[in-house]
């Protein structure tokens, strides 16, 4: 059944989500048409999640993305905590690294894509990291379930009408700190804004302002202006090319924010 589902979501061997991507790009390039952002991305990630792990692992993408993962690990080393979870953990790349770096810490994950969760079972290979199916806007965790909550490139998939609920859930579930590595148009380049403007699944949020409005304290906030040169130095050391249909956007695609929960 899974093979049939995968087959019918392709046209001439090309995944439907890629066809939609290029159709939206063409509309924007020719007519400057910007379609509305996706309100609920569950169906999008149900389809894309089937191929995402293999696409990422085989493309050279993680050779570059590990720079931001290293930033997370460095930040965690400066904090006191006994538990950690990732909101939108995908196939488990980040939670596996955190488990390896902090073997005495309880590590968990959450994702709303069943296909991603199924992939995590293969990727984590029986490592004891519980990953549950759930929505970042309504997490299946008790209050203060974890000391630290984290996301990387996930909350940029949450619609503006839902982002406050998602951040309130992070505050409810996390007892000490929240760390995000996400997209913020206020702290990127005009070139990247233009490149992403037609995409209906990527949404910018002002995390610093949103958390401060919710009464939280921002411990640190960094943008590509702070770590861009270090990223370039990292990229120059990489031997392999990027072999991915979307390529790889540089340091300007993320901000790094740590929030203290009060």
Residue 6 reports pLDDT greater than 50: no
Which structural domains are found in the chain, ordered by start? 14-260 (3.40.50.150)
Residue 224, SS3 per DSSP = helix
- Exposed, middle or buried, 120 (CB in 10 Å: 0-12/13-18/19+)? buried
- Exposed, middle or buried, 239 (CB in 10 Å: 0-12/13-18/19+)? exposed
State how far the Cα of 243 lies from the Cα of 166, in Å rounded to an integer. Answer: 33
Task: Please report the pLDDT score of residue 13 as a whole number.
Answer: 77
Task: Please report the pLDDT score of residue 12 as a whole number.
Answer: 73
Q: Are 234 and 68 in contact (CB under 8 A)?
A: no
For 161-220, how does the pLDDT look when each residue is reduced to its tens digit (9 = 90+)?
A: 999 999 999 999 999 999 999 999 999 999 999 999 999 999 999 999 999 999 999 999
Question: Which own/partner contact pairs does 103-106 have at CB distance under 8 Å and 24+ positions apart?
Answer: 105/81, 106/82, 106/146
Could you identify the residue written with the tokens 């959450």? 110
Q: Are 117 and 42 in contact (CB under 8 A)?
A: no
Q: Are 135 and 158 in contact (CB under 8 A)?
A: no
Confirm whether pTM is higher than 0.75: yes
Averaged pLDDT score across all residues of the chain = 95
């Amino acid at each position: 059944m899974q093979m049939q589902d995968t087959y019918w979501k392709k046209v001439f061997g090309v995944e439907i989500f890629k066809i939609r991507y290029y159709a939206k790009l063409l509309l924007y390039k020719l007519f400057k048409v910007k379609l509305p952002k996706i309100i609920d991305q569950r169906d999008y990630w149900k389809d894309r999640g089937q191929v995402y792990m293999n696409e990422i692992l085989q493309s050279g993408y993680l050779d570059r993305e590990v720079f931001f993962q290293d930033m997370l690990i460095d930040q965690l080393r400066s904090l006191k905590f006994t538990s950690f979870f990732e909101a939108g953990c995908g196939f488990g790349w980040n939670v596996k690294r955190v488990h390896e770096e902090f073997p005495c810490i309880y590590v968990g994950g959450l994702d709303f894509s069943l296909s991603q969760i199924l992939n995590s079972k293969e990727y984590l290979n029986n490592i004891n990291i519980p990953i549950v199916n759930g929505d970042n806007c309504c997490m299946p965790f008790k209050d203060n379930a974890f000391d630290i909550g984290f996301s990387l490139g996930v909350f940029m998939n949450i619609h503006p009408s839902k982002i406050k609920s998602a951040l309130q859930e992070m505050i409810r579930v996390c007892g000490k700190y929240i760390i995000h590595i996400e997209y913020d148009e206020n702290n990127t380049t005009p070139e990247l804004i233009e490149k992403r403007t037609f995409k209906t699944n990527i949404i910018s949020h002002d995390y610093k302002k949103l958390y401060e409005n919710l009464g939280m304290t921002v411990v640190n906030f960094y943008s590509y202006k702070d770590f861009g040169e270090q990223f370039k130095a990292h990229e120059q050391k990489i031997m392999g090319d990027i072999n991915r249909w979307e390529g790889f956007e540089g340091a300007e695609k993320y901000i790094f924010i740590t929030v203290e929960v009060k």
